[in-house]
């Protein structure tokens, strides 16, 4: 009926997802097929298995997304697909599918940076939200503070020098024997623990740096567990989870709020899988209120990997005059 219809495709890690959006922000469908159960037995995502499952799932997920939205491929005005960063074999499945549909139906194609997608989840959650703002991107692969100047204009102020924050959550969960994926389990267990019980080191790096380092705290937790074991003391798992989480979040919250204040942004936008963390939301809410910053955070389903956020980002790239062609490739380490 004249409204602009975007189809988004996401397959960068272990979620196969296809979504249909009207006018860039209105979600008609957002089908997410998670492989968590498949990878759980290995304690993490196995890239080769992920690609195979994407391949098996993608057509069915696409069909379901079109059905749920009540549209056909012929009505689609634009196809947006994650082209990086991510697992190369996984990315290639989404790309091949997107390119095939674009070619067969002569639909414009836009490659999307996965992190731009995560940030864009907020445009779906908040129909009135517009740049500029400060963004905190926290996921299994990324920890970035990004100045969002425009829909397609980004300045990365800082990032992790080693592990991403979600990765740290997953590794510590593994050490605690909580299983995969660890983030949500630590979140839950930490609610029963004392965040002051173990004084894990807060790593702020150089003064004024917006960078992060989370590889040390994983070793810190491991050393703590070993020394307690050697001393024959019983470890309170909830206390360790709560203390680890607090140490990591103290640094993230401090840096994100400082960035917003320093760059004179009155909006802070949260994005990525770790944005689903209840303690992070609570701490940011408090700090933003104290500093006169408006906090934006997507619903949990829009925090973790999904294609709606990719479709939204594609819409704004297309409106900004950007199109990809069929030579579009997968870029495992694509910079924002």
* Cβ–Cβ < 8 Å for 145, 127: no
Cβ-based nearer residue to Zn ion, 167 or 211:
167
Residues 180-239 contacting ligand KG4, CB under 6 A: 181-184, 187
Contact footprint for Zn ion (CB under 5 A) = 139, 305
Q: Are the C-beta atoms of 328 and 99 separated by less than 8 Å?
A: yes
In the bound complex, what is the minimum distance in angstroms from residue 226's beta carbon to Zn ion?
32
3-state DSSP call for residue 238? helix
**Coarse DSSP helix, strand, coil percentages of the chain, rounded to the nearest 5 percent:** 45, 20, 35
Least Cβ distance, residue 138 to ligand KG4 (angstroms): 8
Instruction: Report yes or no: 36 and 305 within 8 Å, Cβ to Cβ.
Output: no
| 273, 311, 316, 324: residue in contact with ligand KG4 (rule CB under 6 A) | 273
Q: How far is CA 205 from CA 158, 163, 199, 217, in A?
A: 11, 14, 17, 13
**Are the C-beta atoms of 318 and 95 separated by less than 8 Å?**
no
In the list Zn ion, ligand KG4, none, the entry touching 256 (Cβ below 5 to 8 angstroms by class) is: none
DSSP string for 118-173: HHHHHHHH-TT--S-EEEEEE-SS-EEEEEEEETTEEEEEEEBSS--HHHHHHHHH
Question: In the complex with ligand KG4, which residue's Cβ is closer, 168 or 293?
Answer: 168
138 annotated as ligand-binding: yes
Task: Tell me the three state secondary structure of residue 202.
Answer: coil
Residue 118 CB, shortest distance to Zn ion, in Å, is: 6
Asked whether residue 277 is marked as a ligand-binding residue, the answer is yes
Tell me the closest approach of the beta carbon of residue 137 to Zn ion, in angstroms. 9
Give backbone dihedrals phi and psi of 130, rounded to 5 degrees, phi first: -135, 150
Q: Read off the tokens for 155.
A: 């300045």
Query: Which of ligand KG4, Zn ion, none interacts with 274 (beta carbon under 5 to 8 A by kind)?
Result: ligand KG4
Q: Is 137 annotated as a binding-site member? A: yes
- Of 261 and 281, the one with the shorter C-beta distance to ligand KG4 is 281
Residue 272 assigned to a binding site: no
Q: Is residue 305 involved in binding ligand KG4 (CB under 6 A)? A: yes
- The footprint of ligand KG4 on residues 130-189 (CB under 6 A) is 139-141, 166, 169-170, 181-184, 187
Listed residue (165, 191, 182) closest to 248, CA to CA: 165
Distance CA 234, CA 223 (A): 15
Q: Is 183 annotated as a binding residue?
A: yes
Q: Quick one: 24 or 141, whose CB is closer to ligand KG4?
A: 141
Complex with ligand KG4: residue 102 or 146, whichever CB lies closer: 146
Should residue 272 be labelled a site residue for ligand KG4 when binding is judged by CB under 6 A? yes
Annotated binding residues for Fe cation, written as ranges, equal 114, 118, 305
Annotated binding residues for substrate, written as ranges, equal 137-141, 170, 183, 187, 277
Please report, as ranges, the residues that interact with ligand KG4 according to CB under 6 A: 13, 139-141, 166, 169-170, 181-184, 187, 272-274, 276-277, 304-305
């Amino acid at each position: 009926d004249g409204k602009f219809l975007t189809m988004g495709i996401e397959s960068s890690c272990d979620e196969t997802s296809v979504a249909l959006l009207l006018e860039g922000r209105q979600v008609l469908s957002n089908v997410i097929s998670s492989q968590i159960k498949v990878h759980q037995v290995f304690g993490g995502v196995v890239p080769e298995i992920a690609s195979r499952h994407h391949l098996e799932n993608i057509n069915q997920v696409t069909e379901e997304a079109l059905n749920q939205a009540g549209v056909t491929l012929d009505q689609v005005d634009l196809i947006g697909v994650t082209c990086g960063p991510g697992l190369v074999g996984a990315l290639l499945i989404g790309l091949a599918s997107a390119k095939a549909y674009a070619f067969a139906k002569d639909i414009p194609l836009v490659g999307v940076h996965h992190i731009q997608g995560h940030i864009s989840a907020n445009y779906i959650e908040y129909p009135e939200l517009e740049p500029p703002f400060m963004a905190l991107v926290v996921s299994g692969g990324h920890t970035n503070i990004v100045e969002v100047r425009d829909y397609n204009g980004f300045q990365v102020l800082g990032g992790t020098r080693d592990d991403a924050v979600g990765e740290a959550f997953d590794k510590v969960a593994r050490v605690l024997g909580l299983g995969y994926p660890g983030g949500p389990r630590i979140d839950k267990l930490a609610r029963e623990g004392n965040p002051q019980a173990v004084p894990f080191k807060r790593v702020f790096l150089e003064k004024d740096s917006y960078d992060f380092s989370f590889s040390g705290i994983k070793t810190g937790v491991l050393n703590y567990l070993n020394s307690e074991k050697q001393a024959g003391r019983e470890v309170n798992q909830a206390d360790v989870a709560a203390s680890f989480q607090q140490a990591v979040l103290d640094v993230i919250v401090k840096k994100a709020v400082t960035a917003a204040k320093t760059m004179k942004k009155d909006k802070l936008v949260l994005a990525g899988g770790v944005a689903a963390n209840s303690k992070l939301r609570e701490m940011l809410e408090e700090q933003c209120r104290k500093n006169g910053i408006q906090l934006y955070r997507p619903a949990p389903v829009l925090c973790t990997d999904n294609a709606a956020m990719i479709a939204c980002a594609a819409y704004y790239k297309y409106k900004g005059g950007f199109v990809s062609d069929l030579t579009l490739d997968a870029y495992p380490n694509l910079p924002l």
